[in-house]
Structure 1
Amino acid sequence: MCKMMKQNLLVRNTSLLSGGVMAASGGWLALNSSVLNGFGYALLAMAGAAMLLLAWRIGARDRFTAWAVFFAWCLGAGTALPSGWLAFFGDNWGWAGWVVWAAVAASPALIFPARLTPLALSGGAVISSLTPIGMMNPIVAAMAFFPGMSWAGLLLSIALLTLPSITNKKLFALSLVAALTVGAALGLRNGLQLPPETAWAVETREGAHPKLAVEWFARQARMTARVKDGVEQGARLVVTPEGAVDSWDAWSEFVWKDAAALAEDHRAMILVGVYRHEAGNRIWQDGLMDPVTGEFYGAAVPMPISMWKPWNEKEHYPFDFTQIARTIKTPVGEAAYLICFEELLVWPLVARMVTGEPEFLISASNQWFTNASTAEAQERSVKLQARMWGLPLLRSVNWPR
């Protein structure tokens, strides 16, 4: 009896270890690796998702082991987080934050029944995709299997994660191979679409906002020159990166006045990434400003801790759910939009697809604090989402100097 118990424990631990290693590798492969370019990112996401499904099938024998496998996936998917957080916050909490986030993100697995069921797997994935824990979710990786399939693709992405509930080993293996084959075949015919030729995204390497006024004006001069050049060359829509203007006020309006007038004369639209707030108020908003009309399209979900921080008496970006259902009417068609942290989440774009009929996707990000590996997950996530929804992607980013 004792010998049998030891053997069972060894098998259990070996299965958990192999499942954990496989899940962590899958998370990294799906959302962080840059081994392949072009269509390759979708193949990597499919391979990573398949590894998670195998890991759950091998290593998840009860609630704890299901959580441990999911936790390993989150660790692998979030390997770039510590370096990004350390660069952003400038302290030593990056590594601890990575582990705590992964543990919390995997927590829905703790309510799984003893035997994995389709409802438990799909429900756990959906719950774990919700903010503020929802970044790098396996649903995003599963979207790689269903390019251009829109709502059907979303449902199939969630359904794909239920494969580990298949008890028959041969049927499970056959289903997984079939999914990979179909996903690769669909991917050859449905890649990421390009935005309209008259829609321009400004990409910059300006780094962090300058502190000296003379440097601030020089930076704005470079930005407005890029925008005006685009309009003069025939662009009907020009988008700048998130936070191109660090504080939208009377000075900013004055600096952007000529660019706005030029856009109005050419019947074009410019969307400027801005942070705005009222004087004396700690509440800030992150979003895209149309300087011609004064219309502001805000982010619904700010980055937790660095922006969303209700405990801070000087600066706080609240969740703004009045923005979640908005789309933008542009001269080149209706657009959904995602700003910074929203690119890592599934549900903001889902909400905008419910309320509108967007023809393409605008994304704006300010990644001044990142390195190449840190930015990979965010770019991968927004590309996979746009690809599944069949939306051309217009992405404007500010990179480090």
Structure 2
Amino acid sequence: MRHDWLQPLALAVASAVSGYLGWSGSALALPAAIAFPALWSMARSRRTASVVSAAYFLAASRGLPQGVAAFYQSDIWPGLILWLVASSSFVFVHAAFWSRDSGGWKALRYTIAMVLMALPPFGIVGWAHPITAAGVLFPGWGWVGLAAVTAGLASMTTRYRPAAAMALVGFWLWSAAFWTAADIGRHWQGVDLNLGNSLGRDNSLARHSDLVATLRLKRRIDTTHMLLPESALGFWTPSVAHLWRQQFTGTDLNVIAGAVVVDPEGYDNVLVRVSATESEILYRERMPVPGSMWQPWLPLIGKSGGARADFFANPIVSVGGKRVAPLICYEQLIIWPVLQSMLHDPDLIVAVGNDWWTKGTSIIAIQRASTEAWARLFDKPLIMSFNT
């Protein structure tokens, strides 16, 4: 009887440790998540597989309750509820595809679970996906590296797991010994801000003037494109576009910044580009944050509002003759947006976020680590800009 509860408890604790360490905010720690499929496969019942899955996901996403409480300026309970609800998709998929069978059949079932958690609809909350470790294990390998880590994770569910684990850990140690950060795009510059929750809410002339002054102060001599965080320009209107164009008269500077485009049906979270001579909406976010931004149930109850999700739209955009893969905030935590963009072989990746609400959590560090891992996997320059 004692053995009956000790084994599930040990698996759950080990799974929680795997999630906690893997998603600690360091890119080099991401491969700790490769232990999860082995622990999942060693469960002797569907119930234990569910507990193991929940332990991993809840530990990996531990910053969510505090972040939600800060975002809504409320107590911890809404965050705890969302934390548990968000884990349900991960637990459901991994419980449904768990099997007592072993060998190739179990590996296939885990592979299907991986794919489901990478794509909509389950992939909408597909955080903490172990496949993100590919960028650390196989930097520069691209799609071959992605295939290799997929095969390695699947092998972790079979009797070959000791050999698979040794191979993956070997690649991990080799990568850690020679790790270099993703290159910064030539002539590009990301600017981090520390404006808290006022960014995007203060649309005064003074705020816009301060942002322009910040860009001028921080601009390097060789910079032609500067990146500002999500929501930096607030509501994007013809007046705001005209104001920013005026500020750069006589210069060759292009600014890419976050903004919001509002209409009677809702709004789009976007990136815009503005220079002395022109301005344009560059990119519409494919997957806004579910719940706080994307609220697909509103039309069902006869209401409008919420951010639109463009899912598979505009995976790359053209800026200055370069093919750019944009990732706004939440898109850095899930799988399909970056892989869809990589299918188009972009020249560089730009990542922005307005993360004032993550203070005291590891969320922003996880976003940075995840995006850096993808950039290293596909050997793409990476430019980032965050507000805290």
User: Which bracket does the TM-score occupy, shorter chain normalised?
Assistant: 0.7 to 0.9
- Find the counterpart in structure 1 of residue 191 from structure 2: 202
Trace 1:3-42 onto structure 2 (pairs within 5 A). 6=1, 10-31=2-23, 33=24, 41-42=26-27
Q: Secondary structure of 2:189's partner? A: strand
- Does 1:84 pair with 2:67? yes
Task: Kindly indicate whether residue 283 of structure 2 is the aligned counterpart of residue 297 of structure 1.
Answer: yes
- Tell me how far 1:376 sits from its aligned partner: 2.4
2:305 pairs with 1:320? no
Deviating above 6 A after TM superposition, structure 1's stretches of 4 or more consecutive aligned residues are: 210-213
- State the one-letter code of the partner of 1:62: S
> Counterpart in 2 of 1:134?
126
Match of 2:384 among 376, 381, 395: 395
State yes or no: 1:44 paired with 2:29.
yes
Question: After the TM superposition, which residues 367-378 of structure 1 pair with which residues of structure 2 at under 5 Å, given as runs?
Answer: 367-373=355-361, 374-378=363-367
Moved more, 222-231 or 388-397: 222-231
In structure 2, what is the Cα distance between the partners aligned to 1:204 and 1:52?
36
SS state at 2:280 partner: coil
Contact 2:200 2:234 in 1 (8 A): no
Give distance in 2, aligned partners of 1:233 and 1:339: 27
Q: CA deviation at 1:155?
A: 1.5
SS at match of 1:165: coil
Alpha-carbon offset, residue 55 of structure 1: 2.2
Partner of 1:119: 108
CA–CA separation in structure 2 for the residues paired with 1:69 and 1:398? 35
The answer for unaligned runs of 5 or more in structure 1 is 1-5, 35-40
Shift of 1:86: 1.0
Tell me, what secondary structure is at the counterpart of 2:261? Answer: strand
| Alpha-carbon separation, structure 2, partners of 1:12 and 1:140 | 33
Shift of 1:323: 2.6
Kept in 1, the 8 Å contact 2:270–2:281? The answer is no
- What is the identity percentage for the equivalent residue pairs of Structure 1 and Structure 2? 24
Which deviates the most, 190-199 or 356-365?
Answer: 190-199
Q: 2:88 is matched with which residue?
A: 103
| Change beyond 3 A, Cα 1:121–1:18 | same
Equivalent residue for 1:275?
A: 260
> Post-superposition shift, 1:372?
4.2
Residues 82-105 of structure 1 deviation map (CA, whole Å, 9 limit, x = unaligned)? 111111123331011111211222
Residues 255 and 12 of structure 1, relative CA distance in 2, 3 Å threshold: farther
TM-superposed deviation, 1:209: 2.7
Match of 1:238 in 2: 226
Per-residue deviation, residues 169-195 of structure 1 (Å, max 9, x unmatched): xx4223212211123213444533221
In the aligned structure 1, how far is the partner of 2:287 from the partner of 2:6?
40
**One-letter amino acid of the counterpart of residue 102, structure 1:** S
CA drift of 1:123 comes to: 1.2
Equivalent residue of 1:288, what SS?
strand
How far residue 51 of structure 1 moved from its aligned partner, in angstroms, is 3.1
Match status 1:347 vs 2:336:
yes
Q: Which amino acid is the alignment partner of residue 393 of structure 1? A: L
- Post-superposition offset of 1:156: 1.9
Residues 1:366 and 2:354 aligned together? yes
User: Aligned partners of 1:190, 1:232: CA distance in 2, in Å?
Assistant: 26
Quick check: 1:228–1:259 contact (8 Å CA) kept in 2? no
| Alignment partner of 1:335 out of 324, 343, 346 | 324
One-letter amino acid matched to 1:120: R
Superposed CA deviations along residues 346-393 of structure 1, whole A, max 9, x for unmatched, are: 110111111x22122100111121114232222222122222221221
Helix, strand or coil: the match of 2:240? Answer: helix
Q: Partner of 1:156: helix, strand, or coil?
A: helix
239-248 or 191-200, larger mean C-alpha shift: 191-200
1:253 to 2:253 alignment: no
Hey, what does 2:206 align to over in structure 1? 218
Distance 1:210 1:29, change over 3 A: closer
- Compared CA separation, residues 165 and 105, structure 1 to 2 (3 A): closer
Q: Is the contact made by 1:56 and 1:164 (CA closer than 8 Å) also made in structure 2?
A: no
Q: How big is the shift at 1:54?
A: 4.2
**Could you say if the C-alpha distance between residues 64 and 144 of structure 1 is closer, same or farther in structure 2, counting changes exceeding 3 Å?**
farther
Deviation at 1:230, TM superposition (A): 5.3
Structure 1 position 306 matched with structure 2 position 292: yes
Residue of structure 1 equivalent to 2:151: 159
Mapped partners of 2:136, 2:220: distance in 1: 38
Gaps of 5+ in 2: none
Structure 1: distance between partners of 2:347 and 2:332: 18
Could you tell me the TM-score, scaled by structure 2's length? 0.88
TM norm structure 1: 0.85
Contact 1:210–1:216 (Cα < 8 Å) also in 2: no
